[in-house]
Amino acid sequence: MNKKLKAHIAVLLGNFFFGSAIVAVKHLSPSLMQPLALNVIRVSVALFLFWLLFLVKPSHALIQKKDIPLFLLCAATGVTINQILFIKGASLTSPIHTSLLALTTPVAITIIAVWLLKEKLTSNKVIGLILGISGAAILILSKDQVNKSSSMLGDVYVIINAASYAFYLVLVQPLMQRYKSVHVIRWIFLFGALMIVPIGWNDFTQINWAGFMWSHWLALSFVVLGATFFAYLFIIYGIANLGSSITGTYIYTQPVFATITSMILFNEHLSIIKIFSAILIFAGVYFVNRKKILTTAEGLESLD
C-alpha cells in the first residue's frame, strides 16, 4: 500500500472519529461535565499519549527557535481557539447552524491555501466544494428545522472556529516539511494544553465522577482516544502526504458518519435523502482528488 492511499484511509478514519464522537459527547456533556472540562481531559490525555510515543520510539525531541512562533500559532488555531469557540458557539446557536457553519472550513482552507501557499484553484476543486457542501447541507437540513432561538453571536463563534481550524490545516503544512508529523502534533498539543487547561480548569474540578457508568467511560474513551489522539494523528499524517486542501475536504464525510452512528444507536431510518446526500458528499471528495486519481490511472496503464 503506497503512502497516498494510506493517507486517504487515515484522513477518512480521522473524520469518522470526529463525526461519530457527536453521540459520545452528548452522552457525557452537560449531564456529567461541562464542555470545557471535556476539552481539558481530551488535550491532557492526548498530550500524554503523544509524548509516550516519543518514549516508545525515541527521536530528536527539540524544535528550532525560529519555528516556535509558528508552533504557537498552530496550537492556538488548531487546539485552543478551535475547540473553545466551537463549544461556545454550539451552546448559543442551534445544532443545525453549528453543523452547517462548520462546513465553511473547506471553503476557508481553499481560500487560505490559494492565498498563503499559492495552491491552484482548479475547476475540479470548485465542483468538489459545491457537491460536498450541497450534500452535507441537504443531509443536515432534512433532519431538523432551524431553531429560532439561535443566537447570531453563536453563529459568529462557529464561523470563527471553522476559519481557525482552516488556518491550522494550512499553517501546519510547512512544519510537516521540516519535522515528522508525530513530532509536530506533540508540540502543538503541548502549547495548546498550556493555553486551554487554565481556561477549563474550574469546570474540570466540578466533574461528576460519581455519576459515571460503564457507558460513560466508554464514551469518554472514544472521545479522548478516537476523536482526539488518533483523529489528530491521522489528520496531520494526511496533511503531510496529501496537502491541506485535500485533507480539509474530507470534513464532508463527518455528517455521513454522524448519521450512521445515530442510526445504530438511536434507530434512525435511512431515507432516500440521506443516501442522496452521502453520494453528493463522496462525489465532492472524488472531484477534488480527480486529477491525482487520473494521473495514477494513466501511470498504471503505461505499465501494461
DSSP result, 120-139: ---HHHHHHHHHHHHHHHHH
Neighbours of 62 (CB within 10 A): 7
φ/ψ (deg, to 5) at 179 = -135, 165
Q: Which of 10, 244, 234, 257 is nearest to 111 (CA)?
A: 244
Predicted confidence at residue 230, as pLDDT, reads 93
pLDDT at 91 exceeding the cut of 70: no
Q: Which residue has the cell 444507536?
A: 265
Predicted confidence at residue 180, as pLDDT, reads 85
- Rounded Cα distance, 152 and 283, in Å: 32
φ/ψ (deg, to 5) at 148 = -70, -15
The separation between CA 105 and the C-alpha centre of its own chain, rounded to angstroms, equals: 10
Helix (H, G, I), strand (E, B) or coil at 18: helix
Q: Is the pTM of this model over 0.85?
A: no
CB-based contact 243:173 (threshold 8 Å): yes
Residue 97, amino acid: H
pLDDT at 294 exceeding the cut of 50: no
Label residue 72 exposed, middle or buried (CB < 10 Å: 0-12, 13-18, 19+). Answer: middle
Encode burial over 277-300: b for 16+ CB neighbours within 10 A, e otherwise. bbebbbbbbbbbbbeeeeeeeeee
Residue 40, amino acid: V
Of 4 and 154, which is predicted with more confidence? 4
Q: Is the bond leading into 30 cis (omega within 30 degrees of zero)?
A: yes
pLDDT at 299 exceeding the cut of 50: no
Of 245 and 193, which is predicted with more confidence? 193
Of 206 and 111, which is predicted with more confidence? 206
Lowest mean pLDDT: which of 5-9, 185-189, 295-299? 295-299
* Predicted confidence band of residue 31 (pLDDT cuts 50, 70, 90): confident
* Predicted confidence band of residue 80 (pLDDT cuts 50, 70, 90): very high
- pLDDT tens-digit map of 189-216: 999 999 999 999 999 999 999 999 999 9
- Rounded Cα distance, 143 and 202, in Å: 35
| Maximal CA-CA distance, the chain | 65
Predicted confidence at residue 267, as pLDDT, reads 64
Encode burial over 170-198: b for 16+ CB neighbours within 10 A, e otherwise. bbbbebbeebebbbbbbbbbbbbbebbbe
pLDDT at 187 exceeding the cut of 50: yes
pLDDT at 297 exceeding the cut of 50: no
CB-based contact 35:89 (threshold 8 Å): no
The residue-averaged pLDDT of 90-110 equals: 64
